[in-house]
């Protein structure tokens, strides 16, 4: 398990290094490999190579979610832009606490971040399974409580326990 995480982290780091540097000479490519190896070793020693530090288990299933989230972000942005430009500024800010049904921390983080990325809602506080959310309109707040997004986040990790 840990070996798989180390290897994937090394590959990701090496791709990252290559994109940022763009070097082709064998000597520098070797140096890059050495640097990645040291980084993985440090990560291993720091004990951060867990499901939170290198979440390989959700790499594929999260891609459709990102597309869906992108669509939601675009929709919410246009809605907010319309609100901000209208002369009456029709906002009805609400702040509320809600219990989330997501059981593991990574899911909760994905959910809280998704809420913040869509402009009309932001996560103010997340403690345990309780989220405090600030929404700019009552309608957006009701959408959150409709729990559509939460279900989708749950689907990313379905069947995986950690």
The residues of the shown chain that bind other proteins, judged by CB under 8 A, are 16, 19-20, 22, 73-74, 77, 80-81, 84-85, 89, 91-96, 98-99, 101, 112-113, 116-117, 119-125, 134, 136, 138, 141-142, 145-147
CB of 3 to other proteins, least distance (A): 26
| Closer CB to other proteins, 106 or 136, in the complex | 136
Which is nearer to other proteins, 3 or 142 (by Cβ)?
A: 142
Residue 94: CB minimum distance to other proteins, A: 5
What whole-number distance in Å separates Cα of residue 135 and Cα of residue 10? 40
The residue (of 58 and 91) whose beta carbon lies closer to other proteins is 91
Tell me how far, at minimum, the Cβ of 78 lies from other proteins, in Å: 9
Min. distance of Cβ 103 from other proteins in angstroms? 12
Minimum CB distance to other proteins smaller for 58 or for 119: 119
Closest to other proteins by CB, 2 vs 21, is 21
DSSP codes joined into one string, 89-107? -----EEEEEE----SHHH
């Amino acid at each position: 398990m840990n070996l798989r995480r180390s290897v994937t982290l090394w590959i990701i780091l090496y791709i990252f290094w290559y994109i940022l540097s763009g070097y082709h000479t064998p000597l520098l490519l070797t140096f890059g490999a050495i640097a990645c190896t040291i980084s993985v070793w440090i990560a291993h020693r720091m004990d951060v190579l867990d499901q939170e530090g290198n979440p390989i288990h959700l790499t594929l299933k999260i891609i459709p979610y990102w597309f869906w989230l992108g669509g939601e972000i675009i929709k919410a942005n246009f809605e907010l832009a319309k609100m901000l430009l209208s002369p009456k500024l029709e906002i009805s800010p609400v702040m509320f606490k809600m219990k989330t049904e997501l059981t593991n921390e990574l899911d909760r983080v994905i959910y809280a971040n998704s809420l913040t990325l869509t402009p009309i809602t932001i996560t103010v506080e997340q403690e345990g399974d309780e989220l405090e959310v600030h929404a700019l309109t009552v309608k957006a707040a009701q959408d959150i409580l409709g729990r559509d997004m939460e279900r989708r986040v749950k689907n990313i990790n379905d069947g995986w326990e950690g």
